[in-house]
Structure 1
Amino acid sequence: MIKQCVIVFGCLALGEFAVSMTGLKLPSSIIGMILLTVFLKLGWIKLKSVKGISDFLAKNLALFFVPSGVAIMLYLDILKDSLLPIIVASIGSTIIILAVTGWVHQIIRKKL
């Protein structure tokens, strides 16, 4: 399990390094996970090398939402003032994402 943690945290560190060196406006965790995906696709890292930690993190995924849930409860009075725009933006963006995803999927299916 330690080797698996080192691999995942190593990719996170590489993402942090890439962001600090290039000044990218993306979170370093996203860059790290993209790097991990690329390394898996290239075969530099075998899936069995990170399967245990990834299964553990996926099983406990709900715990990662606790801080944001607490923050929502702490700032509920501020959010009440902007509730309608938040709901409209959430519904609108969800519809747009679903439509674009379906459209891209259809295009890719036609080309394959």
Structure 2
Amino acid sequence: MAFAALGQALVGALHLPLPGSVVGMALLWAALGAGVVRLHWIADAADGLLGILGLLFVPATVGFLQFLSAGAAWGLWLLVMTAALLLGAGAAGLLASRLLRPEGTPERP
């Protein structure tokens, strides 16, 4: 929640054309990569959110449409959002399959 609030504050202060939650998620990703936040600190909450992942795309889609003023180009944005959804779901599936592989199982090419 702190990263979401920080992202919202940065968007407001810097007048960025992005949703604050997206900026907050990028900040969380950077903090995880830098080791400032440990993965086990947020693992339980992340697992719970993964259970309802499909529902979380709805506000993100609405936020992007609001910030990008896509009123006249619904068809194009629907195509873009569908492609992003499929790409994100595919990447999440690949990542999950690699993370959940039993130890000692050789990696497939």
1:15–1:52: structure 2 CA closer, same or farther, 3 Å change rule? same
More helix by share: 1
The residue that corresponds to 1:86 in the other structure is 75
The answer to whether 1:33 aligns with 2:25 is: yes
1:44–1:28: structure 2 CA closer, same or farther, 3 Å change rule? same
C-alpha separation between the residues in 1 aligned to 2:3 and 2:27?
6
Aligned-pair distance for 1:86?
A: 2.0
C-alpha separation between the residues in 2 aligned to 1:22 and 1:61?
29
C-alpha separation between the residues in 2 aligned to 1:20 and 1:90?
29
1:35–1:65: structure 2 CA closer, same or farther, 3 Å change rule? closer
The answer to whether 1:64 aligns with 2:53 is: no
Q: Which has the higher contact order (CA 8 A, sep 6+)?
A: 1
C-alpha separation between the residues in 2 aligned to 1:67 and 1:51?
22
Q: How large is the RMSD of aligned CA atoms in angstroms?
A: 3.2
Which has the higher Rg, Structure 1 or Structure 2?
1
How many residue pairs align between the two structures?
A: 71
TM-score relative to the length of structure 1? 0.52
SS in 1 for 2:16: coil
Any unmatched runs of 5+ in structure 1? Answer: 1-8, 69-81, 99-112
TM-score relative to the length of structure 2? 0.54
Any unmatched runs of 5+ in structure 2? Answer: 61-71, 88-109
Counterpart pick for 1:42 among 34, 37, 57: 34
Aligned-pair distance for 1:61?
A: 1.5
Q: How is 1:16-27 mapped onto 2 (pairs within 5 angstroms)?
A: 16-27=8-19
Aligned-pair distance for 1:65?
A: 5.2
1:26–1:39: structure 2 CA closer, same or farther, 3 Å change rule? same
The residue that corresponds to 2:91 in the other structure is none
C-alpha separation between the residues in 2 aligned to 1:11 and 1:43?
15
Amino acid at match of 1:44: V
